[in-house]
């Protein structure tokens, strides 16, 4: 089946710094990828839809300037958490899929801001 790779799996950063998370589709082209956030014991919350070659579509309540998304190629989307603060600590997961197939998830990134 299709594979989505996410990197890094864990990152610890200092408050005020920025962190970039990569999401790659390894064996298919993904014009659209999705970024989710998950708090402990909670479900996945869709943050934004990453569109190749155009601006991302953010869900209500998600700060565009805080969570920068770039989808420069058909196999790579990046999420940058800018000026990270402890409340940004969370599990971030990307997904990609093709029409009428299931969504394939990356391994997830555990971000801890200290």
Partner 1 sequence: GQNIDQPTEMTATEGAIVQINCTYQTSGFNGLFWYQQHAGEAPTFLSYNVLDGLEEKGRFSSFLSRSKGYSYLLLKELQMKDSASYLCAVRDNDNQGGKLIFGQGTELSVKP
- 32 contributes a contact to partner 1 by CB under 8 A: yes
Determine the Cα–Cα distance for residues 13 and 16; give it in Å rounded to an integer: 9
* Contact pattern from residue 66 through residue 95 relative to partner 1, giving x for each residue in contact according to CB under 8 A and a dash for the rest: -------------------------x-x-x
43 vs 53, which CB is nearer to partner 1? Answer: 43
Nearer to partner 1, 15 or 46 (CB): 46
Q: How far is the CB of 82 from partner 1 (least distance, A)?
A: 24
Nearer to partner 1, 69 or 96 (CB): 96
Which of left, alpha, beta for 38 (phi over 0: left; psi -120 to 50: alpha)? beta
What are the distances in angstroms from CA 18 to CA 27, 30, 74? 29, 25, 24
Are 47 and 105 in contact by the 8 Å Cβ rule? The answer is no
List the Cα angle 107/113/114 in 5-degree steps.
140
Which residues sit at the interface with partner 1, rule CB under 8 A?
Answer: 6, 30-34, 36, 41-46, 49, 91, 93, 95-108, 110
């Amino acid at each position: 089946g299709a594979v989505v790779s996410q990197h890094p799996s864990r990152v610890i950063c200092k408050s005020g710094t920025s962190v970039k998370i990569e999401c790659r589709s390894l064996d298919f082209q993904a014009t659209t990828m999705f970024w989710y956030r998950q708090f402990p014991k909670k479900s996945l919350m869709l943050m934004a839809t990453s569109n190749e070659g155009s601006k991302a579509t953010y869900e209500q309540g998600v700060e565009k300037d805080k969570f920068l998304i770039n989808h420069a190629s058909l196999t790579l989307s990046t999420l940058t958490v800018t000026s990270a603060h402890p409340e940004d600590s969370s599990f971030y997961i990307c997904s990609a899929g093709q029409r009428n197939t299931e969504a394939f998830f990356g391994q997830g990134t555990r971000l801890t801001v200290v």
